[in-house]
Structure 1
């Protein structure tokens, strides 16, 4: 700064020339250096000022605290304490999760915390074990579901005829008789329709798993960022190679080819095509989800595939006393098989016709009730004759 001023002036400058640079130097040096005076006529004043600045800076540096080994050890112990807290029961409730054992997402978080702490498993293994545990608990219901489908396949021609008669009937009395016949047919073959709702039961369970794991990954829970495996070490981030997404899609495609989770469902060729391409579309949909969430989907798909192969095995069906699936030939008068959209339109039309018939039947019932009521009132009327 001072050298440039001397070069521009071509001679030793006066104090007025050095005054602006002196003020800026004092402001930048700090309040401790304000008292230093420069004499422009003395050539050693600049060197003295520089020596004073150097001494002041060395004094400030000696006053700064140094991070010795004890400080570093304290910081590491603090981090270890936080990690130990995440391995204790109640850690999830302390951060606002797993607050109840009744609400399904909180219930799943509580179960995962119990497995993680008492089994000492990393988080990727905890998610896998909890998913398999849920599938094991649902397996008896799927056995009943597969048995119901097998028993229903035995009487499929009779059931189709009864359902067609019930759909075409417009008389209330006759419809009730057909419904009783259908109920008797189901009872004689040991068929209970309530087991057909088993796949619906899995929907809220899957949603609860998705919600709970996603919440844990978003927070994120301590350990999820480091306790992954293989190529997805961080469970809070998306799978960088889409390996879990592709595995999930492959499992569900194979599941549709093998007859669903019961191993006894009979899909038409058109429906098999739909179930083949639909899981592939889920890959771009789930590509931004956390690896922990997609890990649950992949493990759930693998469990479904193993369950399907088990329920398709003849020895397993005999051991579990599951009825065999009977494949009936297609009637000759049925014609070529219809497409998916055509069958959908036909089902909508049938439902519309059935709703109109039910409305007509209800109107006729109301008329019959009105006539019966009037007839009952007329029976109470007595004709009195005068003598």
Structure 2
């Protein structure tokens, strides 16, 4: 009996032996030859897909086609797996890309769409997907860069208001200063919600990391031979640490240029820290699969290009981004290290929490006093002479 596989039921059609046999092949299905473009093929042998299938082929039909072609059972295994991997739904059939809302599975779905419809090898798919995601997020970084630049204009006034807000011990006084701060931001067109744009990169990076690592550990068909240059196997670690060195270099570059928004102002101490941390990432990522580190390298390169664009005056004018105002340091102000700055911020946070608690306690007492006073107003004071007048009547 002929059994037809769909994207959901394809796992039942492929045995574990078939699913783990990952090497290139030239499958035959329905009389049409499918040849995937990958880095292991020469330009003469690379032929684009003639048809894109949105469902997985039948195991029985694929096997019968292989028998008709005179292939043995051993030769059928990579052919069946290769045929399945050239269809939308292959990742879902092996337990990946099952949803469009969870970041790792969303990234896997997007990469599968690009890989199947474009015919690119997996290294090209990873690079293309990374660039596409960074391009879609670019408008948010433009807004974030503009907000940082506008904040730099009013930094002295804003610092003074923040210090006044920290020192406020009365609820009414704190509200007055908060309104003053809100007015200052509104007058300069500052919307601090755009400062959270770089934080959105965190779930995206985690999605790429988890999704690619899962695909490399399986490994997905094509990951073992669709790399490039010295990292031809995307499921194994880079033997020469070239990708790790590239990643560290680009991260050092864009942090020294002003971060991904091109408007951040780091102290010399912080710049030294951002130089050391990327170097420490080399031994930390040396055992990761090349496909994962390739994403880190391409994402870092996109960050450098984005930083150069956002620092360019011509681009800032065309994108209507405010210019960054760099204020001279206060004369005689001592330079503070990272540990001292951290301790000072912690102490300020503690004092602010104590003041806020005191303000809340005072507000609560005032509310209780007002409630008691309101209740006392309902009591009517009657004099003794009024009782005497009433008894005579």
Which band: TM-score by shorter chain?
0.7 to 0.9
Q: Which residue of 2 aligns with 1:38?
A: none
- RMSD in angstroms over aligned alpha carbons? 1.3
C-alpha separation in 1, matches of 2:112 and 2:255: 34
Q: Which residue of 2 aligns with 1:374?
A: 372
Q: Show structure 1 runs of 5+ residues with no match.
A: 1-69
Contact 2:148 2:264 in 1 (8 A): yes
The alpha-carbon deviation at position 370 of structure 1 amounts to 1.3
The alpha-carbon deviation at position 351 of structure 1 amounts to 0.7
Q: SS in structure 2 opposite 1:220? A: coil
C-alpha separation in 2, matches of 1:74 and 1:201: 49
Q: SS in structure 1 opposite 2:291? A: helix
Q: Which residue of 2 aligns with 1:134?
A: 133
Q: Which residue of 1 aligns with 2:81?
A: 82
The alpha-carbon deviation at position 80 of structure 1 amounts to 2.3
1:340 maps to 2:338: yes
Q: Which residue of 1 aligns with 2:204?
A: 205
Q: SS in structure 2 opposite 1:332? A: coil
After TM superposition, which residue ranges in structure 1, 4 or more long, deviate above 4 angstroms? 70-74
1:137-169 CA-to-partner distances (Å, cap 9, x unmatched) read 100000000000011111111101111111111
1:153-205 CA-to-partner distances (Å, cap 9, x unmatched) read 11111101111111111111111111000000000111001001111111011
C-alpha separation in 1, matches of 2:132 and 2:198: 17
Contact 2:104 2:211 in 1 (8 A): yes
C-alpha separation in 2, matches of 1:373 and 1:330: 51
Q: SS in structure 2 opposite 1:294? A: helix
The alpha-carbon deviation at position 74 of structure 1 amounts to 5.4
The alpha-carbon deviation at position 78 of structure 1 amounts to 4.3
C-alpha separation in 2, matches of 1:381 and 1:287: 81
Task: Give the alignment's TM-score, normalised by structure 1.
Answer: 0.80
Q: Show structure 2 runs of 5+ residues with no match.
A: 1-68, 389-393
Contact 2:169 2:358 in 1 (8 A): yes
1:151 maps to 2:150: yes
Q: Which residue of 2 aligns with 1:66?
A: none
1:295-347 CA-to-partner distances (Å, cap 9, x unmatched) read 011110000010001100000000100000001112225x1221111111111
Structure with the higher helix share, 1 or 2: 1
Contact 2:103 2:206 in 1 (8 A): no
1:44-59 superposed matches below 5 A? none
C-alpha separation in 2, matches of 1:253 and 1:269: 13
1:186-205 superposed matches below 5 A? 186-205=185-204
C-alpha separation in 2, matches of 1:278 and 1:261: 17
Structure showing greater radius of gyration is 1
C-alpha separation in 2, matches of 1:332 and 1:377: 58
Q: Which residue of 1 aligns with 2:258?
A: 259
C-alpha separation in 2, matches of 1:193 and 1:82: 51
C-alpha separation in 2, matches of 1:360 and 1:77: 76
Q: Which residue of 2 aligns with 1:236?
A: 235
